[in-house]
Amino acid sequence: MATVYLHIGAPKTATSSLQAMLAAHHDDLLAAGILYPATCRHGDAHHVLVADLIDKYQANPMPDIWYGDFPRGQAWSRLRAELAAAGPTVHTAIVSSELFFGQSINIERMLGDIQAALAGHDVRVLMYLRRQDQLYASFYNQDVKGARQWPGSAYEFYETHQIFQRDYDQVVDMWGAAFGHANLRVRPFEPAQWPGGDMVKDFCQVTGLPPLRAVGAEPNDGLGANQLYIKRCLNHMGYDKADNDRVVGLLLNLCKESPLKSVRYVNMGCYGRLRERWTRTNQRLGAVVGDGGNFFQAPVPEPAAVPEYALDRALLGDFLQRLLAAGLGGHLGSLRGLFARAALLVIAEQGLWDAVSGSDRVTFESWV
């Protein structure tokens, strides 16, 4: 039976690009005896496999946007059927979803279901780990920007999101206990540790794939500081997840700003405590799956070396004026009320009473 590689993430480690590449090369890979299953995918990734486990073992089922037209509850049976139908010519299968990595609630039972579904196959688990400060900053930004529509602070995000409930070494131990530590492939998301600085080469070498070329995936840049704040205000208002791409596209047109790179969303004391914890974790991780040193070559930077998250009041004022002009010009469509409510929240929270006149505030109110 085929060896199955479970590529479980972590999030923000180019998973979407790898999934797009594997889906685009499906036929070529199959001709080489490598299956990237197609019948249990919605889009390029195998998120529906994890979504079905979440539906089964966690209180809040995944929104329909994760499924599209895919029927709930059928992902694992479809995977088993596709693996069985592939026959002896297929020696390797790759299943990829970063949602695997982020689960902690009832994860032991989830792992039991995965073991049962893949019984008879050699299973190898591949995870790429991004340095924790980078993951925290990038993932928070993405959850505010994306369809999850996170409305809260970075403090709340870290304390409540499942992905931060276990340290990296604990995640490694958990998956190793389920599938054997010898079957784990744990790689740093750090170009200095990839062959030629190329992650695709690293992925192909680890999984035994023939050399592949990356394909043009949609860019997944984060938001700028002020865009992020405005999107949080929009998320506070609440709207259909299916409209999220439209909302983001309109926001990017109304507020021009470069994406955030290195940033510290929390105060120096909180970051310092997190840094100590992450540093200890990386030392333990290096001892377990590395060469005995730190898992990452570059250390987590000191708090003072990371720019603090800050807003630009002038840019927020410019956004309000652009929004007003767009609304008066009929360019906001069905999203006018949503953006007007968010604009009033921006004005109130940031004290931008001088950025728009009283009559303009009345105009925003009339759109609500």
Query: Mean pLDDT across the stretch 102-127?
Result: 96
pLDDT at 10: 96
Sign of CA dihedral 338, 339, 344, 350: positive
Q: Tally the residues of the chain.
A: 368
The CATH architecture that domain 3-130+166-207 belongs to is: 3-Layer(aba) Sandwich (3.40)
Write out pLDDT tens, residues 343-361: 999 999 999 999 999 999 9
Q: Does 179 score more than 90 pLDDT? A: yes
pLDDT for 28 equals 96
* Residue entry with tokens 């929004």: 323
pLDDT for 53-62, tens place per residue?
999 999 888 9
Provide the edge-to-edge strand list for the sheet that holds 34-35.
34-35, 92-96, 3-7, 123-129, 184-188
pTM above 0.95, yes or no: no
Q: How far is CA 184 from CA 101, 174, 179, 225, 352, in A?
A: 13, 11, 8, 37, 53
- The DSSP result for 212-276, as a single string, is -----PPP-----HHHHHHHHHHHHH---GGGHHHHHHHHHHHS--PPP-S-B-S-HHHHHHHHH
Strand pairing category for 34-35 and 3-7: unpaired
> What is the rounded distance in angstroms from the CA atom of residue 35 to the CA atom of residue 301?
41
Residue reference for tokens 């929104």: 63
Token pair listed for 284 = 């333990």
| Per-residue pLDDT reduced to its tens digit, 194-204 | 999 999 999 99
pLDDT band (50, 70, 90) for residue 293: confident
- DSSP for 30-46, please give it: HHTTEE--STT-BTTB-
Interatomic CA distance for residues 356 and 319, integer angstroms: 11
Token pair 């600085």: residue: 197
Tokens of 324: 């007003």
For 251-274, what is each residue's pLDDT tens digit?
A: 999 999 999 989 999 999 999 999
Domain map of the chain by residue range? 3-130+166-207, 225-258+312-367
What pLDDT score was predicted for residue 29? 98
Q: With the CA atoms of 233, 239, 245 and 248 taken in that order, what torsion angle do they form, in degrees rounded to the nearest 10?
A: -20
